[in-house]
Chain A
Amino acid sequence: MKQKNVLEYLEATVVRLPDKVAYADDEISLTFSDVYHHSRAIGSALLDKGICGEPVVVFMPKSPKTIATFFGCVYGGCCYVPIDPEMPRFRIELIFKNLEPKAVICDRSVMGELETYEFSGELMFYDELIKTEINDAALAEVREHQIDTDPIYIVFTSGSTGVPKGVVACHRSVIDYIEQLSEVLGFSEETVFANQSPLYFDACLKELYPTIKFGATAYLTPKQLFMFPVKLVEYLNEHKVNTVCWVVSALTMISAFNTFDKIKPEYLRTIAFGSEVFPIKQFKRWRAALPEATFTNLYGPTETTGMCCFFRVDRDFELGDVIPIGKPFHNREILLLTDENKRAAQGEVGEICVRGTALTLGYYHNFEKTNEVFVQNPLNDRYPELIYRTGDLGKLNERGELIFVSRKDHQIKHMGHRIELGEIEVNVNMLAGVSMCCCLFNKDKDRIELFYTGEIGESELMTVLKDKLPRYMLPNKLNKLESLPLTPNGKIDRVFLQKQLEAKK
């Protein structure tokens, strides 16, 4: 019978490999048996309290215990909402306000933190919950009534306006994603992950679910190690990590400091990356250091459950090239739609839209925002069919590979021209003396400003750009910085830079 619940992965694996380590960090290690029993106890506890079919906040730092709690919520017929105490305060407040959760599960260690927030739900403690007597009958009853479009999690993503939106995902789209991703990246029982992504982003789906599907192992890399490249690689070697799915900035931190001169990840064979453009200079260093490894670029918004496109690097890239985002996983379609809502022609830029089971259910308690982006397929006037408008622009290259161009809302009007700020960035990023850049528009002053890091000086950069860009695309001001601010997700924090820009006199 077809799989309808993500927990079926765990149930099959615990029979085969009960004592194998599933998730581990520096403090605790949980086997599949531990995860199975703890999560069933947590599910039973929720049912004891009459909490079912509700979002349950999991207010815990990153830990194997937190993952068991996620599954516990799903056992209880609820959906988990991960909140890490390290998240910015205002964001946590907004999430509590949007959700009004009936229950919050936490660790004693973060009780103090939690008490500073306002909510009226039931407060439950992990250490007590796992001692609950497992109620097999009640859990079976929940499973009997569960269907594959029931929600599993709500993950909050920033809107471009800064107000977080809760993306609700169900069993069906997660199962479909995990099946496709696992096939493309070749996961197996031998896979050893080092997780980098926080548990409150859907990026962690890549480690969480394949681990229970295959009986693999996922190490939760201590965050501190991402500051210390040699220690990070030592950690990878110590645990014989063979697979990483990280944001680009975590990978470039290692290569930028010439870490490979000193030490290499000996066991790493599968490297997947995404969320940001990979600077070619750094990418070449990785390829040179690990010639046996496969490198795969992944793209996809949270709203379409994890990633939706992939590109397996199969050739060399030179400075000035852009690594494509490739093509959709099986069972997804990508539509490139022009402003006139027609399919973009070969080489023409269009908005990247996603069609298929991958679509999540929408935003929690926000029908208005949901209906703005989960819309009727404009190419279909015959029956209801949803697509998700990503707000990203892309085009197909001559090989038929999808290339990310820029965010749609980075289109500006300046000196009478419609300009993609992304296009200016692409051109600047091609230059050897530039590491990273971000191009912003100050509407009030009608000025384009570029923030960048790299060796090249401001005045020299301006001279070079005058040759490369049409007059109307030249930034009015160049700002060389030591480093660009990053969001918790590892992307350039454009919102922060924009605020700084607008605050300047």
Chain B
Amino acid sequence: MEEILEILQEMHPDVDFEKEQHLIDDRIIDSLDIVTLISEIDDRLDVTIPAEEIIPENFNSVKALSELVRRLDEE
């Protein structure tokens, strides 16, 4: 969870990611951010996110993203 927060904060230092629950719906992050996020998570956390997991529900909050990463890591 910490690393995900760090990655997001680097991309948007002005956003309070602990609070935001609608990153996609509120257009806080955009398509370019998604590409960067997926890339960073691959590089830093060694977790590859497959196409079918690239859905709004998994990207709407730090918590959702961390859950996704944790789940994929365990598989």
Name A residues whose Cβ lies closer than 8 Å to a Cβ of B.
224, 226-231, 253, 257-259, 261-263, 482-483, 485-486
B interface bracket (residues with beta carbon within 8 Å of A): 10 to 19
B54 CB to nearest chain A CB (Å) = 5
B39 touches A230 (CB 8 A): no
A487 CB to nearest chain B CB (Å) = 11
Per DSSP, are chain B's interface residues mostly helix, strand or loop, or mixed? Answer: helix
Chain B residues closer than 8 Å to A486, beta-carbon distance: 32
Shortest 9 CB-CB contacts between residues of A and residues of B: A259-B51, A257-B51, A227-B31, A482-B36, A482-B39, A483-B35, A262-B52, A230-B52, A227-B34
User: CA A261 – CA B34 in complex, angstroms?
Assistant: 20
B36 touches A261 (CB 8 A): no
> Is the C-beta of B5 less than 8 angstroms from some C-beta in chain A?
no
13 contacts between A and B (CB under 8 A): A224-B56, A226-B31, A227-B34, A229-B54, A230-B52, A253-B35, A257-B38, A258-B50, A259-B51, A261-B51, A262-B50, A262-B52, A482-B35
> Which residue of B24, B40, B52 contacts A227 across the interface (Cβ within 8 Å)?
B24
B46 CB to nearest chain A CB (Å) = 14
Q: Which residue of B lies closest to A259 (CB)?
A: B51
A231 touches B24 (CB 8 A): no
A228 touches B36 (CB 8 A): no
Contacts A229-B54, A258-B50 aside, 12 further interface pairs with beta carbons under 8 A come to A224-B56, A227-B34, A227-B56, A228-B54, A229-B51, A230-B52, A231-B56, A257-B50, A261-B51, A262-B51, A482-B35, A483-B35
> Is the C-beta of B18 less than 8 angstroms from some C-beta in chain A?
no
User: CA A257 – CA B37 in complex, angstroms?
Assistant: 13
Name B residues whose Cβ lies closer than 8 Å to a Cβ of A.
24, 30-32, 34-36, 38-40, 50-52, 54-56
A483 touches B51 (CB 8 A): no
Chain B residues closer than 8 Å to A227, beta-carbon distance: 24, 30-31, 34, 54, 56
Q: Which residue of B lies closest to A233 (CB)?
A: B51
Q: Which residue of B lies closest to A255 (CB)?
A: B51
User: CA A261 – CA B53 in complex, angstroms?
Assistant: 13
> Which residue of B30, B31, B34, B54 contacts A230 across the interface (Cβ within 8 Å)?
B54
Among B24, B39, B54, max chain A CB count under 10 A is at B54
Chain B residues closer than 8 Å to A226, beta-carbon distance: 31
B32 touches A483 (CB 8 A): yes
A496 CB to nearest chain B CB (Å) = 11
Chain A residues closer than 8 Å to B31, beta-carbon distance: 226-227, 253
A228 touches B39 (CB 8 A): no
User: CA A261 – CA B52 in complex, angstroms?
Assistant: 10
Chain B residues closer than 8 Å to A224, beta-carbon distance: 24, 56
User: CA A486 – CA B38 in complex, angstroms?
Assistant: 17
Chain A residues closer than 8 Å to B40, beta-carbon distance: 482
A483 touches B55 (CB 8 A): no
B72 CB to nearest chain A CB (Å) = 14
